[in-house]
Amino acid sequence: KAQQRAVTERKIAEKRIHALHELNVAITSTLELQKVLDILLEKIDIVLPHSAARVRLFNKDSGLLEVAASRNFEEAEWKQCWKERPGPAEQVYAAKTPLAILDVQTDPRIADPDFLRRQGLVSYLGIPLTGKDETLGVLSFYTKEKHQFSGGEVEFFQTLAGEAAVAISNSQLYERVKNLADELAASNRVKDEFLSIMSHELRTPISLIMGYTAMLADGAFVETNP
């Protein structure tokens, strides 16, 4: 049994290392946030099958943790539920530390266990997405069966979340720079249009003034003194 356990643990470790490597290669190949998040959840499904996963990112404008990507969730009912009641992800974000709950259907910290029963979700693990000294959001897992997350699993998912957080931070920075570039281009277009309109609007009266001045100088109306 000990030998079988060792073989099983080695296979799990190999699978995790492989997943981390694939994740690192994949998320560094793109700066598009949605692609980064989709890749992250796809790799999680390999190491934690038969589970539901979700990424929620903190929106500084709304002050809320908003869903950025999810996998294996019934979205419509979920969105309605968590608009009304905060979940464990808010606790993870506030404490900035992992949170494991063995049974979300009976745990007193869960606001709506009936909803989770309907979804068939049992155990929970939440990991803060911390990158570049900033907590960006929360990576959450829900398993379909009761699952005691081991210290090794929590450590692995923290490593995975750390890599993902850096990629998310880079993607968000790219989006901000891209938006600034678009705003600058739009500003330049407005400036050019404004100058074109003002040039046209000024040119007409100035031309008239210059014409009348020339006619006055030539004595076209009356004789002018020095």
Look at residues 58, 20, 13, 56 and name the one whose alpha carbon lies nearest to residue 40: 20
Q: Which two tokens stand for residue 87?
A: 């979940």
Question: What is the bridge-based pairing of β-strands 99-101 and 123-131?
Answer: antiparallel
User: Alpha-carbon torsion 128, 81, 63, 167, what sign?
Assistant: positive
CB neighbour list of residue 188: distance below 8 Å, 6 or more residues apart: none
Predicted TM-score (pTM) of the model is: 0.69
5 has pLDDT over 80: no
CB neighbour list of residue 214: distance below 8 Å, 6 or more residues apart: none
Mean pLDDT computed over 114-139: 88
Confidence of residue 122 (pLDDT cuts 50, 70, 90): very high
Q: Which two tokens stand for residue 167?
A: 């990629």
- The region of weakest confidence among 61-65, 150-154, 206-210 is 206-210
Ranges of beta strands (E only) in 12-113 are 51-59, 64-71, 99-101
Query: How confident is the model at residue 79, as a pLDDT?
Result: 58
Name residue 135's beta-bridge partners.
130
Between helix 33-47 and helix 2-27 the angle, nearest 10°, is 170
pLDDT digits (tens, 9 = 90+) for 155-213: 888 888 888 888 888 888 888 888 887 778 777 787 877 777 777 666 777 777 777 78
